[in-house]
A and B are shown apart, each in its own frame.
Chain A
């Protein structure tokens, strides 16, 4: 085992320091060291998107990032979306549109959709499907997720011009 490394980072706007081995993924660090278990592990090789987090200005699959690479970075996980007990509009839209069943993929979809709406306030269906193609869901058949994201876009950014 190689020496553990101290990593100083910002998670959900809070300064966080953790100690990890270089071989540990950011996903492992978040879940097993920091204790933020909202981010889920699916495939472990970057295909399914369930471990999606925001890292700096873009989204990544945290299974394909080393914890040590997060030093000095700002991370947003699903725990950072709600304000206290008030759900983020995306979270509310997912509930309203039944955009989840088992829920394992949901944290990844929420983070990815949040990044989409920051980049494209009123994404088309095609843009939404293309952007979310790195997130797999085995329950919903996707249509409900797409509808939830589009409803949240209107809720957050108003009706498209």
Chain B
């Protein structure tokens, strides 16, 4: 047997361990399990695989909570969390929806355009790796305030915003996958640490779902796509340490969406080939994690020769080749003897490929450089990093903020003007400025695009459609991660239910600070608990996801920000329900109860400058009932529109459901815009509340619906049957937004504030 290069002689210094993000104790554990000390290449491989990004060493014990109890709709789950590159659910007719959300936060903080672009590229590869054609991406973005009073900070936040949005658009437009939804939120906590979470949904034939398994001893390992360069070295470990500012642009990869598009087509074509055994994309930790994952899933071994890897530059070491994160590369396992067929297929698409190794049966990942063994490691050591269960403690200043007494807070004199200010707040205002830069209609499946509650995409060849929404609320999770976690799942599911679709499953991206800090660990633990409770109640198992920890700068963690994507199924696409009122003269009604809850609201932050108070409570049984009533009312054709009450409360939800010209000529020109205002009166139970709580409080489990008078009795019966409160509020129509007895403003001013708020913040004249 060959011997491993530099055996026994390499003793890493503390600095060298820091470079690969391993502690001394972890290093010693690695040596012990290996039965010898590793060389430099092996240490680098271990550092990458044991990083939080690849190994989930802090989060895995917590993530188990998602699988604690059986979830009823789990019967539809074809591929669950952690099994493959993404999760899959059965959507009927032999089709699977395959989806996942992933972060690209750290690279985007350093090089926002390419960081965001390659974030899209990475998640799209996770989807087509499984044999699914990507049919939509959604992105959830977080930045510092565009209108920060400090001009230097505002300029920096705008720079990050412009370039992240530009990068997302650049990549997704070019690959021809509609970017059809998502969300954008601004808060100081994200100023130095923006969040870029991208979700991708694909559709595959169930019997063609591909696996990332290396099986069949002697089969070939082929690397396809871009040549390997020094870009992205240490990306996985970089994502697992504090303070992105301390890093540099060199670790950020540069994307080539054109090559990705070719890879999509070629890989989907390869799925039909008899010689394809397995497929795995190269993401974080490049060749290292892809070979280790394939060997581990196949319970086999892999031997590769880095000398056979085509490179962008001369002089690259085995270490660099193994840890490069050059984009647009795929690893294929191909039947022995059929290598030429595989290479010919990729060549037809203009893609270069190299046969770099073979599948073995020795449970080892062996890296050769010509005749030299550069690394030889058992894959199970690499895929079983040490696990840390820590003790979380809530930070006292956060508890104090939550318990702050808000009862003496003055109610604004002019509630109409307050509504206009809220509508123009960047967190509430229309995100048209963002999504008009994304191709939302390519692939001709987009039935309802961005701007509503959820994106609805038809499934061609079937009567069905899927609905997808992402949601997150860092402010809620900061003030109360348990309740915040419940709400994030509930709201994403509610958004899906508002279109008429039944939520089937969820994906999550957990964006948190440094878990080694008890206060951050507490947030992580509580948020996961809350999310798991809501997933159980709503019947939406978590089938995929990603964890992004160490989101801090200058020692300050970001708001704990779990982002949840929920996918639902609509049996009859023609019954989809829009968010906006459809015609004048219909009844406006509210499903759900309104309570005295202004804590943690956008109103409190925007108008009073406070991040404080109790997060709105959520009764998961009521939530389930409200969503069920909404879906049944839609499927029975009782209601004309349904819109979730969230940021900004009932008053903002009512305005968002209105329509009319709003003063942007090029967009006004685009559609015949009917003028539909709204006139309502707050129902009796709301009269006793603080007016600002009734209007702008963010009580959960509420949906604004509109319906013809003839449907009222049927809707009433339906609500009663589910034990869900239903209030008649008023009527659609007119050119005002009237909410008696508190406010009455013009529709034009309301929509104008809503539609131009983001642009004004961007230009600094808000």
Do they bind each other?
no
